[in-house]
Structure 1
């Protein structure tokens, strides 16, 4: 049961993932969570986020943002990026992820999801059949339900890291 929340991979940050390697392994689409994955909660896309997305587009990736936030929030984040997006995605439900893949014109097997929450982002991506990459959250959590979930995530990450260490030995 706990394995349902394990990502396929993890990274310190969305900015430290080897995207060229993902591309070389055949991935062509990236679905991103926004808040605490690419920017601090509620912030607009900064220069770092803009550069990352433009670099990904140059590599050949199609990008779509998948967020449970309102359209206003996602549209504001996306204003300088001009990428596809799904708002009120209903994560961890499957439909937002599947809609994102369809929007990109990619497939479940050549699309990866990147997010900072195990119980919504990663669990939903796994339910949809997508490769998932968990990244450490950017900034401090401000919503009480997310703060509480982070405590449970620490427990899941302990078991994930323990099982991951066993696999490497």
Structure 2
């Protein structure tokens, strides 16, 4: 992961991710497995697919690849049951949690327990600082901020994106953002 992403050396701010990446679709997951990670948790919207979109063939292929490598996978989403269940089943995720209550820690800790792993062996991928990254950091799960895939459809998320800008600026002063192209 060292070549693929920039790691935060000293995470003193709960809003700073452990890593940041341009896309989950170009990561060297084999290397992550070699580094000791065993479970990968994902948000859905603007992390794996555009907002409100169904699973894409490339998403299904990605999760099949992750399973083949040996990863356990989970979907942790604040979306409702129908959307999350349909998406998780389409991609073959091992576990899912709808209405996850992010940035609360319960969904993250439930996923860690589900796989009987140490938190440090898991990674959470999400596109929002104030829900995904904050929640993962509070739970003690390493976090990966993913560059949002598309333009936001909802005003409350547009507002969050504006509020995230200062955090991204201060994070980027010490750590390169969105560096995962091999």
Task: Give 1:62's match in structure 2, choosing from 66, 72, 87.
Answer: 72
Deviations 1:98-150 (A, max 9, x none): 01112223221101101100110001000000111111011111111110010
Q: TM-score, normalised by structure 1?
A: 0.93
Unaligned regions of 5+ residues in structure 2, if any?
Answer: 1-10, 177-182
Provide the C-alpha distance between the structure 1 equivalents of 2:89 and 2:54, rounded to a whole number of angstroms.
9
Question: 1:155: Cα distance to partner?
Answer: 1.4
Aligned equivalent of 1:40:
50
Aligned equivalent of 2:175:
164
Q: Pick which of 31-40 and 12-21 moved more.
A: 12-21
Provide the C-alpha distance between the structure 2 equivalents of 1:79 and 1:111, rounded to a whole number of angstroms.
21
The 5-angstrom pairing of residues 113-124 of structure 1 reads 113-124=124-135
Q: Is structure 2 residue 152 aligned with structure 1 residue 141?
A: yes
Q: Which runs of 4+ in 1 moved over 3 A?
A: none
Note the aligned Cα RMSD (angstroms). 1.5
The 5-angstrom pairing of residues 9-158 of structure 1 reads 9-83=19-93, 84-158=95-169
Question: 1:2: Cα distance to partner?
Answer: 7.9
Higher helix share: 1
Provide the C-alpha distance between the structure 2 equivalents of 1:153 and 1:16, rounded to a whole number of angstroms.
24
CA contact (8 A) 1:115 1:135 kept: yes
Q: TM-score, normalised by structure 2?
A: 0.86
CA contact (8 A) 2:16 2:133 kept: yes
Provide the C-alpha distance between the structure 2 equivalents of 1:125 and 1:118, rounded to a whole number of angstroms.
10
Provide the C-alpha distance between the structure 2 equivalents of 1:105 and 1:47, rounded to a whole number of angstroms.
30
CA contact (8 A) 1:64 1:104 kept: no
SS, match of residue 14 in structure 2 = helix
